[in-house]
């Protein structure tokens, strides 16, 4: 079946450094790639997303890049802060049958920002 | 306030005792789904629904049932819970466009003993 692979599973960075999380997807027809942040004990929440007709998107310290040919996309966080510590999930949506779709999530990356 | 509401937040039950976790959304979303979250495995989809009376199996549907009798509600039913269903469960909703944000409920931590 379709899947999304995410690496690394854990990532520790010093405060102020950059963090990069990478995902690959299998369905070439996927066209939407969101990233969710889940703080401890909370629900996942969207932080940024990108559609297949765009190669890069940036929102302040967060950016996402997409390489459709290689079927991979990445989350970049610059100038990391302690409040960036959380679990991050990538996802891709894929059509199942006409009119319905599935959200497929990666296995998550636990980011720790060390003060 | 736009939201997805799950109940209960925490539940401890015994093996074999039927239970239902409710999920309701007030955003008029067509698409609703259930996920379980386990360490190292991420969010795995259990069931999803694109419309009233239309449900489909996700990646891990065994041992679960769902129903979609109304657009806003999508309950998750465990007819005979087993310890391997101990997990954190999330309900989510989004609109029918697949290029769209999923909104998650607060989560339900289920323990089956």
pLDDT, tens digit (0-9, with 9 covering 90-100), for B12-59: 999 999 999 999 999 999 999 999 999 989 999 999 999 999 999 999
Residue B109 contacts A, CB cutoff 8 Å: no
Binding-face residues of B in 14-53 toward A, CB within 8 A: 31, 33, 35, 40-45, 48, 50
Q: What is the pLDDT of residue A98?
A: 61
Contact B78, B66 (CB under 8 A): no
Q: What is the pLDDT along chain A (115 residues), one digit of tens a residue?
A: 789 999 999 999 999 999 999 999 999 989 999 999 999 999 999 999 999 888 999 999 999 999 999 999 999 999 999 999 999 999 999 888 767 888 899 999 999 999 9
Give the one of B45, B99, B101 whose C-beta lies nearest to A46's C-beta.
Answer: B101
Radius of gyration, alpha carbons of chain B: 13
Binding-face residues of B in 82-101 toward A, CB within 8 A: 90, 92, 94, 96, 98-101
Distance from CA of B69 to the nearest CA of A (A): 18
Distance from CA of B43 to the nearest CA of A (A): 6
**Between chains, do B101 and A93 touch, taking CB under 8 Å as contact?**
no
DSSP character at residue B101: P
Residues from chain A contacting residue B109 (CB–CB below 8 Å): none
Give the one of B43, B101, B106 whose C-beta lies nearest to A49's C-beta.
Answer: B101
Residue B99 has pLDDT above 80, yes or no: no
Residues from chain B contacting residue A49 (CB–CB below 8 Å): 101
From the number of C-beta atoms within 10 Å of its C-beta (0-12, 13-18, 19+), residue B31 rates as buried
Q: Which helix (H) or strand (E) holds A34?
A: strand A32-38
- Sequence-distant (6+) residues with CB within 8 A of B35 are A105, B43, B44, B45, B46, B58, B89, B90, B91, B92
pLDDT, mean over chain A? 94
Number of A to B CB contacts under 8 A, please give it: 63
């Amino acid at each position: 079946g379709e899947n999304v692979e995410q690496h690394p599973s854990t990532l520790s960075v010093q405060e102020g450094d950059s963090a990069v999380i990478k995902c690959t997807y299998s369905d070439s027809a996927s066209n939407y790639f969101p990233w969710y942040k889940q703080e401890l004990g909370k629900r996942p929440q969207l932080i940024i997303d990108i559609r297949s007709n765009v190669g890069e998107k940036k929102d302040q310290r967060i950016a996402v890049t997409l390489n459709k040919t290689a079927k991979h996309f990445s989350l970049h966080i610059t100038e990391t802060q302690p409040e960036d510590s959380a679990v991050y999930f990538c996802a891709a949506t894929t059509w199942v049958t006409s009119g319905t779709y599935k959200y497929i999530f990666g296995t998550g990356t636990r980011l720790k920002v060390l003060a | 306030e736009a939201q997805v509401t799950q109940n209960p937040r925490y539940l401890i039950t015994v093996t074999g005792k039927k239970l239902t976790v409710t999920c309701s959304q007030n955003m008029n979303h067509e698409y609703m789904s259930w996920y379980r979250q386990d360490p190292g495995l991420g969010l795995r989809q259990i069931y999803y629904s694109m419309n009233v009376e239309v449900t489909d199996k996700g990646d891990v549907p065994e041992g679960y049932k769902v129903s979609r009798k109304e657009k806003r509600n999508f309950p998750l039913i465990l007819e005979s819970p087993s310890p391997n269903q101990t997990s954190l469960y999330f309900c989510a909703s989004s609109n029918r466009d697949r290029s769209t944000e999923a909104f998650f409920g607060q989560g339900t931590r289920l323990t089956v003993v």
